[in-house]
Structure 1
Amino acid sequence: MTIRVLVADDEPLVRAGLRMVLRPAADIEVVAEAGNGADALDAVAASRPDVALIDIRMPGMDGLTMVRELKHRNLAVTAIMLTTFDLDDYLHTALAEGAVGFLLKDTPPRRLADAVRSAAAGELVLGPAAARRLVAAYTRQAPAAARAARDRLAKLTAREGAVAAEIARGRSNAQIARALGIAETSVKAHVSRILTKLALDNRVQIALLVRDAET
């Protein structure tokens, strides 16, 4: 299966270089390119790539804004951020906005092709330095995040807490109903109340909050 790639960068030479780097990979095809985020969004909608290589700094709409817009417009493409600026703010913002990768532009050609394959498979793709910094930041923040998560979960009743714990285990409403010995309609009602009480949008966020609390 060929992985379809879009390249978004304001420098024509960089776009040409990325095409050249990826051309030898028989399973990867660059299907579109753009010089700014707005044009890249149109190209994503038109060409339906699997993976987008996106420069963080572009005129008009930058890469971080573009990733945010991909999510808002429900455009199903996996984003890898490319940059010459190895900054923590860029890294954290990119991942928070939904990117699955953060690489420097001097990434070796073979590593770039492997990164595209990994991203297409749903894996997180980070350069070595970015990975080290992310782990260090998580280690520093984990105790505080766990306390904050436990404080939020304390708003739930015992039954709601049990439902939240089952959601974190990846169980469906029917499975939760069987595990807790309650009706599936009751599970749905509990989930709705959990989302409202915790100001969350979906079950994934419930699961992540529970896991933070268990850190």
Structure 2
Amino acid sequence: MVMLAAYHASGLEVTYDVVRTTSQALGWRAAERHEFGSMADMMLHTATLPRDNEGFVVRFTNGLRLKLKGSEYRRIHALISRCTPLAMWEAMAAGDDMAAIRRDLPEEFWSDFDNIVLLLTKEYAAMERKVAELAASVAHLSDKELGLSLNSLPADVGPYVFGLRKAGAIVGKSRDALMRSIRPTGNVLPGYQPSYAMGRVIDEATS
């Protein structure tokens, strides 16, 4: 916990020295003070901050505060805010490098990433199995006979049987369509519970 400021019972903001004394009594850290020659210098320095340093809070003489966040922190935070069922589905559907996405995330969000990707992978695999089982059950039919019986096949997997029969796998447009069938609705993925760390990000984004 970092103390940025404190206020007297009268409503007046106390001095930085009082903030330091109060934070020590509470066992908190007081925000460090930094001096810059100009706003431009501060912004240049902010842009070079590491990922674990959020940025600076600028306090004006009238008490107004302005937060400046580092470029790397904003990049990581943007990645975290997109570590959602729908965002991960979009990445998987596009064939993105999921391992690279995971590497960019802070370690405390790896469990969210892993759980979401695992659940989506299981959903897709389950649909693939249903298509394969259906294809096996109609393997004795000719292409013409299969075409005539398509309307009688299960609507959720029937359309993919021809593609599997011809290519030996669900690829191309068939894969795209099958991926769309498992697209999370309302960014909700059954079985996924956000971690405490992700919950804090969600609360911050919605507050």
Question: Which category of TM-score, normalised to the shorter sequence, fits these structures?
Answer: under 0.3
| Superposition TM-score, scaled by structure 1 size | 0.27
RCO higher in structure (CA 8 A, sep ≥6): 2
Q: Which has the higher strand share?
A: 1
| Superposition TM-score, scaled by structure 2 size | 0.27
